[in-house]
Amino acid sequence: MINYLSMLIGFMVFTPLFCKGLSADAIISSGEKQAINPVAIGTFLIFVLSTLGITWWAANQVRSRKEFFVAGGGLKPWQNGMAIAGDFMSAATFLGITGALYFRGIDAFILSVGIMIGWPIILMVVAERFRNLGSFTFIDVLASRFEARPIRIMASCVSLSIVLFYLIAQMVGAGTLIQILFGLDYKWAVIIVGILMIVYVAFGGMVATTWVQIIKASLLLIGGTYLAYAILVHVGFSFERLVQNAIEKSDLGSSLFIPGGWFASDPFAIITVSLTMTFGIMGLPHILMRFFTVKDAVDARKSVFYATSIMGYFYGVILVIGIGASFVLFGNDTILDEAGLLTGGANMVAIHVSRLLGGDFMFGFMAAVSFATILAVVAGLALSGAATLSHDLYGQLFKKVDDHPEKEVKVTKYATVILGILAVIFGFAFEGQNVAVTAAIALAIAASVNCPIIILSLYWQGLTTRGVIWGGYIGLSVCAVLIVLSPAIFVSVFGFDRAPFPYTYPTVVAMPFTFLTIILVSKWDKSDRAREERRAFPAQVRKSEIGSEVLNAGEH
């Protein structure tokens, strides 16, 4: 414990010194920063202190590798479901979709619909089988059937790519958000998030990370519910009046509720966004890891049910806030900057609504909750990335520490510190960049690479190690190339007039390409190893359906 504390203190001391050597233009000049809000500071400090207390308690409870990685498999379904929902009830979801509804109209709700469709698919296709086949990470499921070493290396590359891109998006989002809401310098906001992330994961493991998610999800639900309630009070709880008022006051007019405007020029834009949102969640490592935190497959299904119910309610709240913002913000010049644009940009719609409906108190509360939301998501990502480094790579491939699991936990803590430092450095490097791009990369890789591999590994007998390896690496490469050739990079970053690939999300091309590569390579694989893997499939199906505990009981 002393070693880890000394490492953390060193990180806190030397990172600010390192920051002084980095030059980056602030997104918002000091003259444009918001005045410090005591409620925001107080709420955030209460959240941090309470979660640090939970982390201290969790650190005293963790006595084994299983307890550290997956909370000993002892989480209750409602706890796990709340934590899963917390991963998606993020600041990007709350602020981003609300702003998109305000500026783009009802088409923006496709972002929510895609995610909600994905969860029943996970419930029926993945949850039970994953819980019965795996132990700590989704890579364990793949390695149980195929040649472990190349599978773990490939899957770890894909997993770490997703985690790092998601971490970058969250770190940049945290720095930008707190710079606007708290008046805190961007660099210090990123450093604070990095330090707290390390503390939560390195000391508390999955137990602390879960409770951080539960607390922040509860706060976000409370804040969002209040805003939706306050808007509905204005219209006498009549959805018809809500729609009428929004149409009258919105710049979009009646087109606010006419679908197809955002994607009218190209229907493939709808398809690729929908595919990414629907199947991206199935391939996110930090979500898949949560199926192993409950005691059995029944609880895994219940967890998904709770998560889906909570998110369904939350997205309904977002819909009310996004529509209601049209008349709540109408005619209020205090929310505009000198250029006549919304202060803080499209992502600040919900925050401005909270100020107008709840005063400085509600503004401060929602600002703090938004920061806490980012912090919780970062903790989940860090734990997943650290588990990949320590368990899937170091523990299973290089040192074979199954006989000494406590050493694997120690390596996880070191890996968390490394990830925290990398996250802070990348946060500095990507300052001012569009976080939607990095988030899109993470979701696109998850949907285009992990999802095909997971589905085929669970349901296709003909799958082979070579098919998985070739499909994983080629799918990841195609996904990366198409993202570079997309408008988000080719035009916005490189400065070209037109992008060779017209979509930010490459899933509509990359996902079928991965499926096709895996199937073709597996079909052509006539090796002895491939024949053994095909013969082993029925046994995997039995285990995935009834669990290893039942199989072992039958053997005796």
Contacts of 507 (CB under 8 A, 6+ apart): 272, 275, 276, 279, 280, 444, 447, 448
Q: How confident is the model at residue 433 (pLDDT cuts 50, 70, 90)?
A: low
Q: What pLDDT shows up at residue 154?
A: 92
pLDDT at 263: 64
Three-state secondary-structure class, residue 342: strand
Report pLDDT digits (tens) over 183-206: 778 888 888 888 988 888 888 888
pLDDT at 240 over 50: yes
How much is the pLDDT for 518? 96
The segment with the largest mean pLDDT, out of 58-62, 270-274, 453-457, is 453-457
By the 8 A CB rule, do 51 and 378 touch? no
| Model pLDDT, residue 128 | 84
Please say whether the dihedral angle defined by the alpha carbons of residues 451, 454, 459 and 460, taken in this order, is positive or negative: positive
Across the range 535-543, mean pLDDT stands at 87
% of the chain beyond a pLDDT of 90:
21
User: Does the pLDDT at position 207 exceed 60?
Assistant: yes
Distance CA 449, CA 453 (A): 7
Burial state string for 273-309 with b = 16 or more CB within 10 A and e = fewer than 16: bbbbbbbbbbbbbbbbbbbbbbeebebbbbbbbbbbe
Higher pLDDT, 87 or 533: 533
What's the mean pLDDT in 424-438? 77
**For range 63-89, the mean pLDDT:** 86
Provide the pLDDT for residue 129.
85
Average pLDDT on 370-384 reads 83
| pLDDT for res 548 | 57
Distance (Å, whole) CA 124 – CA 330: 44
- pLDDT for position 149: 87
pLDDT level of residue 316 (50, 70, 90 thresholds): very high
Q: What is the mean pLDDT of the chain?
A: 81
294 close to 300: Cβ distance less than 8 angstroms = yes
pTM for the whole structure:
0.82
- Residue 166's pLDDT is what? 85
For residues 116 and 260, give the distance between their C-alpha atoms in angstroms, rounded to a whole number.
20
- The yes-or-no verdict on residue 387 having pLDDT over 90 is no
CA distance 159 to 385: 7
- Quote the pLDDT of residue 466: 94
Angle at 390 between CA 8 and CA 463, to 5 degrees: 150
Residue 408: per-residue pLDDT: 76
| pLDDT-based confidence at residue 404 (cuts at 50, 70, 90) | low
Q: What is the pLDDT of residue 15?
A: 35
pLDDT digits (tens, 9 = 90+) for 434-473: 666 677 788 899 999 999 999 999 999 999 999 999 999 9
Average the pLDDT over each of 401-405, 434-438, 477-481, 508-512 and give the range with the smallest value: 401-405
Assign 474 a pLDDT band (cuts: 50, 70, 90): very high
Of 300-304, 341-345, 391-395, the poorest mean pLDDT is in 341-345
The pLDDT of 274-298, averaged and rounded, is: 87
pLDDT of the residue at 400: 60
Per-residue pLDDT at 5 exceeds 60 = no
The predicted pLDDT at position 28 comes to: 29
Each residue of 428-464: b (16+ CB within 10 Å) or e?
A: bebbebbbebbbbbbbbbbbbbbbbbbbbbbeeeebb
What three-state secondary structure class fits 154?
helix
Is the pLDDT reported for residue 91 higher than 80?
A: no
Residue spans of the domains in the chain: they are 436-543
Mean pLDDT throughout 205-231?
91
CA 48 to chain CA centroid, Å, is 20
Tokens coding 230: 């306050």
Q: Are 465 and 533 in contact (CB under 8 A)?
A: yes
Q: What is the pLDDT, as a whole number, of residue 71? A: 82
345-358 per-position pLDDT tens digit: 777 888 889 888 88
Using 50, 70 and 90 to split pLDDT, how confident is the model at 19?
A: very low
Mean pLDDT of 145-161: 89
pLDDT for the residue numbered 364: 81
Question: Is residue 336 classed as helix, strand or coil in its secondary structure?
Answer: strand
Instruction: Please compute the mean of the pLDDT values over residues 245-251 and round it to a whole number.
Output: 86
Q: What's 552's DSSP letter? A: H
**pLDDT at 265 exceeding the cut of 70:** no
Q: Say if residue 12's pLDDT is above 50.
A: no
Q: pLDDT band at 551, cuts 50/70/90?
A: very low
Confidence (pLDDT) at 81: 93
What secondary structure does DSSP assign to 169-222, as a single string?
A: HHHHHHHHHHHHHT---HHHHHHHHHHHHHHHHHHHHHHHHHHHHHHHHHHHHH
CA 289 to chain centre: 12
> Which DSSP letter does residue 236 get?
T
Assign 60 a pLDDT band (cuts: 50, 70, 90): confident
pLDDT at 16 over 60: no
| DSSP-assigned letters across all residues of 411-462 | HHHHHHHHHHHHHHHHHHHTTTS-HHHHHHHHHHHIIIIIHHHHHHHHH-TT
pLDDT of 310 strictly over 70: yes
